[in-house]
Amino acid sequence: MKTITKFQHKKVLVLGLAKSGASAASLLHKLGAFVTVNDKKPLQENPQAQDLLEQGIKVITGSHPIELLDEGYEYIVKNPGIPYSNPLVRGALERGIPVLTEVELAYLISEAPIIGITGTNGKTTTTTLIFEMLEKDGKRPLIAGNIGKVASEVAQKATEEHIVVMELSSFQLMGIETFRPHISIITNLYEAHLDYHGTKEEYAKAKANITRNQTEDDYLIINGDQEELIELTKFSKAKKVLFSTKRVIEDGAYIQDGSVYFRGEKLIDTEEIALPGSHNLENILAAVAAVKLAGGGNEAIRNVLKVFAGVKHRTQYVGEVNGRKFYNDSKATNTLATKAALSAFQSPIILLAGGLDRGNGFDDLIPYLKNVKAVITFGQTAEKISETARKAGIKTIVHAENVSDAVPKAYQLSEKGDIILLSPACASWDQYKTFEQRGDIFIEAVHRLK
């Protein structure tokens, strides 16, 4: 961990706890800052706040009092989930107080180079592939960021011998100042998180922050099949490396004659790749480009691609019961992700879908429902999805109370050779705390069938 003096004797407000806030507060305290933590959750229900108190850190809980801005803070480090419309955040920006997220702290203290991955879809799969390939090659990677391991915590352990592989959300990237990955990736760009960003333009701008501070010594890997993305990153000084599933890119990663290539060198035939779905070829190309640029070897890349079957909750193969294959795609919280999952299979599909109603419709799924023989719906959007299925000409539509109820109903309707796919196209919060909990319940229900 680098010793930095940037925050020494500076007043810093950490806004919002959760894992990243607690880690940021502890780190800033170590770096000699005068830290105050402010979290909405009352102290008696807030073990993280209690722990920080024991470390000698000032803690204010129960609300976000606007008067805190009169305390003379020189920096605010906010939890990525707190929107910029929050009065404290808005007030800080109006006063010219820098508002950071903890990935900025991670960058400042990391002795290791960083590979940063962002994009609308495929971030976690790409991040995990890079980590697995580098680990197989003996490069000592550390995985961090939006994938669940707090970046500023991981960065404290990183030495020059490591490589930090960091998944980054648009929320995190809005709070950077000097953050500069050696290799950055934008997997793709679609409309998302408009409730947070307001417009697609603002969302895109946040994603492009990943390359904002890169120089000619760095690399930017982008989806060469998205003109919008190429246009968005024109300003970047980094060396651009494109990937494409549709055309040959001589200085990038591409598919040609059923094989994966990087800079003209064939690495593996696509039929040898364990990860299902044409959309995953994009993630694979992005990962291959990053690993090759980081000095990774072909054998490690091939070995991982032959066995890596997916990240949990992302078109994850759960198992087979009497000739029916079960896939958990609980992370599909929008129709875009469900389209990708449906496109991954040629066999007849029984689709399990439904969840939180955010006011959108589902008719954009209709062209992707050709292989779907039955739909099991649940949650607030059950009727909306049923209506879409009817429009698509699907005859068998069944309502279930929840995911646990949906699995045996799907099995009863299935035949040998069918795919039973949980790909909800909705957030989970109407019935479950997280998409992970929803996916775990699906896995448990499948194991009960076994």
Q: Which residues are annotated as a binding site for ATP?
A: 119-125
Where residue 198 falls (left for φ over 0; alpha for ψ -120 to 50; beta otherwise) is left
Burial 97-124 (b: 16+ CB within 10 A, else e): bebbbbbbbbbbbbebbbbbbbbbbbbb
Where residue 77 falls (left for φ over 0; alpha for ψ -120 to 50; beta otherwise) is beta
Please give the full DSSP string across 293-357, using - where no structure is assigned. HTT--HHHHHHHHHH----TTSSEEEEEETTEEEEE-TT--SHHHHHHHHHT--S-EEEEE----
In this structure, is the dihedral angle defined by the CA atoms of residues 20, 22, 27 and 28, taken in order, positive or negative?
Answer: positive
Q: Which helix (H) or strand (E) holds 116?
A: strand 114-118
Helices and strands (H, E) in the chain, number of each type: 16, 20
Residues annotated as binding site? 119-125
The Cα–Cα gap between 312 and 438 comes to 12
What contacts 412, CB < 8 A, 6 or more positions away? none
| Token digits of residue 289 | 């480009």
What contacts 199, CB < 8 A, 6 or more positions away? none
Q: Rounded to the nearest 5°, which phi and psi values hold at 209? A: -55, -25
Question: Can you point out the beta strands (E) in 181-225?
Answer: 183-186, 219-223
Q: Specify burial of residue 251 (Cβ count, 10 A radius: 0-12, 13-18, 19+).
A: exposed
The Cα–Cα gap between 260 and 285 comes to 7
The Cα–Cα gap between 151 and 393 comes to 47
DSSP state of 214: -
Nearest to 424 by CA among 444, 390, 400: 400
Q: List C-alpha distances in Å: 66 to 38, 49, 61, 83, 92.
A: 11, 19, 13, 15, 10
